[in-house]
Chains A and B, each alone.
Chain A
C-alpha cells in the first residue's frame, strides 16, 4: 500500500484545475497553515489555513460572480499578502480571469497599468479597503476605465456574506490568469496561462525541486511577479507546504529578515533574482544575523535575471558560517511564456559553473578557453524539466544546432502558455515556431540565447529580444528612451538609445546615449541636463542609469527607415566610437 505522501502526489498530478487543487488541500489538511504574512519588522501579522483560504475564496467568488460573467477579467492590485491569494483563488472559483498587476508607484506618471487596462478590458478591480479608501485614493482616478467596478475584498460585506459559493468548474484549457510581463509600456502583452499550464508547471517544479509537504517556503518576491506567485506561493500550496510572505520593501531594507525567517520557520526553499543574494551579502550585519541557522535551507533558487558565478560564490562563502550548504544554490531559467520555469537543477546537486572562451562565445561557440584572460565563467541553469524539450536553434535559418553551439533557446512542453491575449500576430511569431526540416511540432521562441552541453545543462549567454532586465524586472528600451526625450525639449525625439553592458561583478549596467537638437547644442549646460535625465528615469522606471552621455545630432546609427539601431549603438559605445557632445 502506498504511503499517504505518495497517494497525495498521485492525486494532485491528476487534478483538473487549480480550484480542484485548493479544494483538495482544504479537505486533506484543513487546519494546516497555508500562508503566514510577516510585518515590515518581521513579526507574524496574519495567518490563514488551507480550510479558511478555501472558504474565504469561495465566499468572495460569490460576490464576484454577481458582478461579472465567467471569462471576464479582474485586475488584482494588492500589497504583498494573504488578500492577494484569497482574491486570486476567488477569481478562479468564479471563472474570472485574474490579471495581477503591480500597484503603480505614486511618484511615477506613466506606467504599464493604463495600457494593460486598455488591452484586457477588465470588468473588476480587486484590492484592499486600505488601498481603495485611504492611502492610495489616487488609484481609482489613475485607473479610470469605462465599466470598471472596484471591489475591496476585505470589507465587511465579504465577512458577513454566507451566500452559495460560486462553483464554476474550470477545465484544463481555460485561462486561469493573464501575466503581463512582456511588451513595452505602450504595447503590453498578456500571457494567457491556462489551468493545465499551471498544473503542468507546478508538477515539473515539484519534481525538479523534490518538494514535499515539509518544504516550507519563505518568500519576499511580489505576488504580481510570476516567480513570486508560481514558484513560491502556488508551488507551496501545490505540495501542501507553508509559505511565509515578507513585504518586498522590508526585504530591500533589511535583507536579514528573509534569512532570519528562513531560520525561524526552518524553511527548506527560498529564492529570488540574482540581485537578492548580492543584497544579502552587501548589507549583512553580524549583529542581525546572530544565532541564525541556515542548515534547514535545502534549495535556494536563483533566476529571473542572469545568474552570476560571482554572486553564487560570494553568497555561499559568506553564509557558510551560518550553516548554508554550498549545494543549496539552484539556478533556474524561465519566463511567463513558459508559465514560469523552463529549466532547473536537481535538489542537492549544486550549481554547474563552467569556464568557456570569451572569444569563442563571440563566434557563437562554447569552447574551452585559452589563457585565463579569455576565460568567461558561465552558470548552468539546469536541464529541461519532466515532459519538456529544449532546443537550440539558429534564429535566422531555424536549423537546430548541435551541443556547444550558441543559438536561440526554443521550448516545447505542456507548460508553454496558450499565447498572448488578443494578439494573434505576436502569438504566431512567438508560440508557433517550427524547426527547419523537422516534424510539425510547434515551439516557443524565448528570444534568449544560450547553449546546451553534452549532459543537457542549459547555459544562457545573451538575448535577441530588446529587453533590459534589472533586479528581475523587465524594462523595454523604447519606454526608457521615451522618458529621456520627454524630460527636456533640447533632447531629440527618436535620437536616443538605452542598452545594457555586462559587468561580471555588478550584473547588467544601464547606459543611455542621447542626441541633442542641433539648434540647442550650444545653449545647453550638459551637467544639469544629465541630472534631469537621471531623475526622470529613476522616477518613472525605478532604475538607475550608470552612464548617461549626450551626443551630437546624427551621432547614432539609424536604419534607412529612421529607427535607432540599438545593438550597433551599443557596439559603438563599447569601442568609444560615438560622437559625444
Chain B
C-alpha cells in the first residue's frame, strides 16, 4: 500500500526496493542514479516493472517511460512532477 500522498522520494524508494528484489545479482549496485539498462532491464522486465509501479501508485503509466526517463531518480521526478502532477494514490 502506498502512503496517502506519494512524494518523489517515496517513488524512488519503492523503485530501489523493487529492483533490489528483482534484479537478483549481488554484483549490481542499485542506487537512484543507476540506469535501467545498466541494471539489466530489457523490454520484458521493464514492462513488468511499470505494471507493478502503476499498481502500487494506482495510476496508469506508459511502458516507454523507462526509456524516456532512464534512471530511477529521473523516472520518480517525472512521475511526481510530470503530466497530471503527483498521482492520487488513495483511489487504487
Taking Cβ atoms with an 8 Å cutoff, the residues of A that contact B are 105-107, 249, 252-254, 279, 283, 471, 527, 530-532, 534-535, 538-539, 542-546
Given A106-B67, A107-B67, A535-B35, do A249 and B47 touch, yes or no (CB 8 Å)? yes
Report the separation of the CA atoms of residues A279 and B63 in the bound assembly, to the nearest whole angstrom. Answer: 17
- Asked if B38 is an interface residue, CB under 8 A from chain A, the answer is yes
Given A106-B67, A107-B67, A534-B40, do A253 and B35 touch, yes or no (CB 8 Å)? no
Report the separation of the CA atoms of residues A281 and B8 in the bound assembly, to the nearest whole angstrom. Answer: 32
Report the separation of the CA atoms of residues A107 and B35 in the bound assembly, to the nearest whole angstrom. Answer: 13
Q: Which of B44-72 touch A at CB < 8 Å?
A: 44-45, 47-48, 50-51, 63-64, 67
28 cross-chain CB contacts under 8 A: A106-B64, A249-B43, A252-B44, A252-B48, A253-B47, A253-B48, A253-B50, A253-B51, A279-B44, A283-B48, A527-B27, A530-B27, A531-B38, A534-B38, A534-B40, A535-B37, A538-B38, A538-B40, A538-B41, A538-B42, A539-B37, A542-B42, A542-B43, A544-B40, A544-B42, A544-B45, A545-B40, A546-B25
Report the separation of the CA atoms of residues A543 and B41 in the bound assembly, to the nearest whole angstrom. Answer: 8
Contact-size category for B: 20 to 34
Give chain A residues whose Cβ lies under 8 Å from the Cβ of B42. 538, 542-544
How many A-B pairs with Cβ below 8 Å?
Answer: 50
Give chain B residues whose Cβ lies under 8 Å from the Cβ of A283. 48
Q: A249-B63, A534-B28 are in contact. List 15 more A-B contacts (CB 8 A).
A: A249-B47, A253-B51, A254-B51, A283-B48, A471-B44, A527-B29, A531-B28, A531-B35, A535-B38, A538-B41, A539-B37, A542-B43, A543-B42, A544-B41, A544-B45
Report the separation of the CA atoms of residues A539 and B51 in the bound assembly, to the nearest whole angstrom. Answer: 20
Report the separation of the CA atoms of residues A506 and B38 in the bound assembly, to the nearest whole angstrom. Answer: 21
Give chain B residues whose Cβ lies under 8 Å from the Cβ of A279. 44
Nearest chain B residue, comparing its CB with the CB of A538: B37
Report the separation of the CA atoms of residues A187 and B42 in the bound assembly, to the nearest whole angstrom. Answer: 25
Give chain A residues whose Cβ lies under 8 Å from the Cβ of B67. 106-107
Report the separation of the CA atoms of residues A106 and B43 in the bound assembly, to the nearest whole angstrom. Answer: 12
Select one of B37, B43, B63 contacting A534, CB under 8 A: B37
Give chain A residues whose Cβ lies under 8 Å from the Cβ of B27. 527, 530
Report the separation of the CA atoms of residues A545 and B41 in the bound assembly, to the nearest whole angstrom. Answer: 11
Please indicate which of the listed interface residues B27, B41, B44, B45 has the most CB atoms of chain A within 10 Å of its own CB: B44
Give chain A residues whose Cβ lies under 8 Å from the Cβ of B41. 538, 544
